Structure 1
Amino acid sequence: MLELRHKLKQEAQTTSAPIDRIVEISYSHMITTQTITDSIVKFPTLKTLKNTVSKQRRQTRPPLPKSIQDLPAQLPILYTLTKKNSNFLLFNGSLGGKRGLIFASIDDIKYLAYQKFWYADGTFYTSPSIFYQIYSIHAFDEGLSTPCVYALLADKSEETYYDLFSTLIKNIIEISNMIKLEYITIDFEVAVKNVFYKHYPHIQVKGCLFHYGKALVQNFMKLNLKTPFQEDEFSRNWFRSFAAIALLPETDMEEASQYLRTTKPCLLLHLIASYYSVILGVWNPKYNKVVYPYSKNDYTARTHEDYLKSAREAVKKSKGRKQVATDGIKGLSCLFKIFNYPCQIIFDYMHLVCLCHIPSVIHRWCQRISKSSIQDVDQRLKQLRTPHNIKVVFLESIQSVNLWKAKNSRLFVLYVGVPIMTNRLPTLLFSHFIIYSLAIKLLHTPQSEQDILLGERLLHYYCRTIANIYDSSMEIFSLHAHIHLGHQVRLHGGLAHTSAFAFESAIRYIKKSAHGSINIASQIAYWNNLRCTTQLKKFNLAETSLIDVREESKKHW
């Protein structure tokens, strides 16, 4: 144990390695080589050892400054030299009106002077707390990137960057009498770009492909496309193609952009944009989404032949390459031989209404009503007493409506939403919701054709006016699909009889037949076949016990 402490203190004094690394390596080595296991239990904790090493290092080094003002005007010589005792501090003074330091050796400056390509980027996580960032400049030659300059900067203003590069270029010319810089690659920081555009126009500024791709991914995720990006291959390929436009010659960029606009997935909803009628989605740059304005509806019904025609056209356009969608159809499918499109394809109201539209509407309500009203609604929902056959508990606030289960939204829209929101919503929002609730309730279990007709008319009115009640960002494809619910109910019955609620109840049973994430359908089919062949129960059909009225009538007469 004494040997361990002595070793730790020695390394803290003689090396500049991080304290965590020193302690963890020594501690791990001691435990793995220790032969007497009883003494291992008596070892001090890692935290204790790290505190000991920190104290030892503070005794041999000056205290860390708490602000830039505490930094001495002249740094100790020990911290301005390389291991070969050559000067490493290139500049110590004002950069952009604030204290800044530039570190680079003479060899680094000479090497940098002869390179045509520079790379520059800032990092914040490893920067000392008294500075804003460490800005590093690398030279790129023959496929090798070499760090040459490190600058401790107090901010990221254009003035600071100008002082940094003017000081650096001045020193390079003084030391090497030349500079061959022609291109500099940066991370799309506007302040750096402006410095070169204004003061060094002969140097071409390029954007870093890594930062470009990272920025695209971040904006892609802001559109709530993380799941489609992970699960849909077409969306991934389209995104990669979009990112690759930056690598094309300028003369080809416009043509490539036009091609991607015609083949874009349109947030994936555009691919399924019209099952029953023809409507084209419109990209709304204000809300960063595709909207389907009610005024653009074309009530020309699509037929099975229309789907086949679009599918063949998509195959023809693809020509063996990546799939190109035509009117929302990406190609031929064996399902065209089984189902009659679109009549036999239905919208599931569990997802359409309960998991999509209701949470979206309630989220908008929370932006319009006071906190006290929200708390009152939450309290009333928690105090609900439902019949024994309706086991629904509202554990989450309406502010966390996205965490509601489908059964919560179903109970809300069909039964309790209207009475609970009475006098708690603005009159306009409340009356609009009453129309929607009544329409869904009529189509849920219609008793007559008049119920279906009224529900259909109410939904048309609801969809036509929603942009005036909220804004046009509500006119997404899931809202447009509501218009077709009336026709669907006429063909297949009430929404209550064609939803995924029944299937959801059987998911737990089905999941027991699949393990892992490979060949799930084959696993389920295999175990289902096995159960059918091994768990057959023999039974005899009961004999007819009804009376033949006709025979009895003959006997009577």
Structure 2
Amino acid sequence: METGGDLPNQVARGRGHEHLPNLDESSIRTSLTRMRDRATAENISIPQIYEEEANTLVSSQSTSATLLVFRNVASTLYRARRRVLPPLPQTREDIVIPPSLQVSLQGDLFDLLYLPSNATIVFDTLCEHSNIYMDGTFDTCPHLFQQLFTIHAFFGERQVPLLYVLMSSKDRETYVSLFRNLKDLAIRRGRRFSSEQILSDFESGLIPAIHDEFPQSLHRGCYFHFTQAIWRKVQQMDLTTVYTNNESIKGCIRQLMALRFLSIPRIREGL
């Protein structure tokens, strides 16, 4: 670069910082730091922390939301949380529930029942209700167990989970053992674990266990699980394409799903 006057007529190009700070990058780094701090200090879920901080960042800066996507920061946040948590148990015998996690938000002690014979852990807040709903799920179950079994009841118009069970098996004997231990627990607390009506899915181990342990209860199958089972059978028999293209087959399958709405004496007629 040429200069005038008495100054040297050549100026060398510097190699220092030659542009204004990138405010977006600085804001993102600050937001990530807050996320990591919250991940180690708070008990709320990592996705919720991300959503709150990302919304704050986008609303306070002219920052593109694409600069901070969850999949790019999730591993960092989960790693930060794992550093302050005890190591994951490798066996069911390694599971130790600290006293702080055995009480509700109101300070009431959960009932805790551990059955070494089938490794079932039960958290129970209410043993007795006139109508209860039983369901099992596998997608959200920890890898050391086979299923998360839950019992729900309606309070007003809201269905509330009353009991959570981590089960290492779903056979008849395991369910029978669970129900008997729950009934014993209820007796020790001066209650009676029984219901007028029980609604459940169609697990082959659960149904006979309910009939054995609650013979006075009316047992009904869940309509959602009923139609789900029919559709699963349609898929197993490779009838999905036929169902889509053949109105007669579609009508037959849909009528089969609708049998639940007929009175018992008319079901055979409906078939």
**Counterpart-to-counterpart distance in 1, 2:79 and 2:240:** 47
**Counterpart-to-counterpart distance in 1, 2:124 and 2:213:** 23
- Pick aligned residue for 1:3 from 30, 43, 46: 30
Contact 2:124 2:163 in 1 (8 A): yes
- Partner AA of 1:84 in structure 2: Q
**Counterpart-to-counterpart distance in 1, 2:166 and 2:111:** 11
CA shift digits 1:393-446 (9 cap, x unpaired):
xxxxxxxxxxxxxxxxxxxxxxxxxxxxxxxxxxxxxxxxxxxxxxxxxxxxxx
Partner of 1:84: 106
**Counterpart-to-counterpart distance in 2, 1:181 and 1:100:** 22
Partner of 2:79: 55
**Counterpart-to-counterpart distance in 1, 2:80 and 2:58:** 23
| Alpha-carbon distance change, 220 to 56 in structure 1, aligned in 2, over 3 angstroms | closer
Partner of 2:224: 210
Partner of 1:23: 50
**Counterpart-to-counterpart distance in 2, 1:48 and 1:223:** 41
| Alpha-carbon distance change, 178 to 242 in structure 1, aligned in 2, over 3 angstroms | same
- Partner AA of 1:22 in structure 2: I
CA shift digits 1:164-207 (9 cap, x unpaired):
11122222333353445122111111211111223332223221
Q: Give TM-score scaled by structure 2 length.
A: 0.77
Contact 2:180 2:213 in 1 (8 A): no
What is the deviation of 1:57? 1.6
CA shift digits 1:481-535 (9 cap, x unpaired):
xxxxxxxxxxxxxxxxxxxxxxxxxxxxxxxxxxxxxxxxxxxxxxxxxxxxxxx
Partner of 1:165: 179
Contact 1:116 1:181 in 2 (8 A): yes
**Counterpart-to-counterpart distance in 2, 1:44 and 1:143:** 39
Q: Where does 1:304-453 land on structure 2 (aligned, <5 Å)?
A: none
**Counterpart-to-counterpart distance in 1, 2:183 and 2:204:** 20
**Counterpart-to-counterpart distance in 1, 2:184 and 2:160:** 21
**Counterpart-to-counterpart distance in 1, 2:180 and 2:247:** 48
**Counterpart-to-counterpart distance in 1, 2:145 and 2:131:** 27
What secondary structure sits across from 1:98 in the alignment?
Answer: coil
What secondary structure sits across from 1:86 in the alignment?
Answer: coil
Partner of 1:99: 119
Q: Give TM-score scaled by structure 1 length.
A: 0.40
**Counterpart-to-counterpart distance in 2, 1:60 and 1:52:** 13
Q: Percent identity?
A: 24
Query: Structure 2: 5+ residue runs without aligned partners?
Result: 1-26
Counterpart check, 1:236 vs 2:243: no
Q: Where does 1:458-473 land on structure 2 (aligned, <5 Å)?
A: none
Partner of 1:192: 206
Q: Where does 1:247-258 land on structure 2 (aligned, <5 Å)?
A: 247-257=261-271
Q: How many residues align?
A: 244
Contact 1:121 1:135 in 2 (8 A): yes
What is the deviation of 1:25? 4.3
**Counterpart-to-counterpart distance in 2, 1:162 and 1:201:** 13
Counterpart check, 1:35 vs 2:62: yes
- Partner AA of 2:124 in structure 1: A
Counterpart check, 1:68 vs 2:105: no
Contact 1:90 1:104 in 2 (8 A): yes
Q: Where does 1:261-276 land on structure 2 (aligned, <5 Å)?
A: none
Contact 1:245 1:256 in 2 (8 A): yes
- Looking at secondary structure, tell me which structure has more helix per residue: 1
Q: Where does 1:529-548 land on structure 2 (aligned, <5 Å)?
A: none
What is the deviation of 1:55? 3.3
Aligned CA-pair RMSD:
2.7
What is the deviation of 1:158? 1.7
- Looking at secondary structure, tell me which structure has more strand per residue: 2
Contact 1:127 1:133 in 2 (8 A): yes
CA shift digits 1:310-358 (9 cap, x unpaired):
xxxxxxxxxxxxxxxxxxxxxxxxxxxxxxxxxxxxxxxxxxxxxxxxx
What secondary structure sits across from 2:189 in the alignment?
Answer: helix
Partner of 1:375: none
What secondary structure sits across from 2:105 in the alignment?
Answer: coil
Contact 1:117 1:141 in 2 (8 A): no
What is the deviation of 1:46? 4.9
Counterpart check, 1:123 vs 2:142: no
What is the deviation of 1:63? 1.5
| Alpha-carbon distance change, 45 to 203 in structure 1, aligned in 2, over 3 angstroms | closer
Contact 1:119 1:139 in 2 (8 A): yes
**Counterpart-to-counterpart distance in 1, 2:111 and 2:80:** 27
Contact 1:81 1:89 in 2 (8 A): no
- Residues 26-35 or 161-170, more deviating: 26-35
**Counterpart-to-counterpart distance in 1, 2:63 and 2:158:** 49
Contact 1:89 1:101 in 2 (8 A): no
What secondary structure sits across from 2:160 in the alignment?
Answer: strand
CA shift digits 1:52-78 (9 cap, x unpaired):
322332232211112213223xx2112
Contact 1:118 1:185 in 2 (8 A): yes
Partner of 2:215: 201
- The structure whose Rg is larger is 1
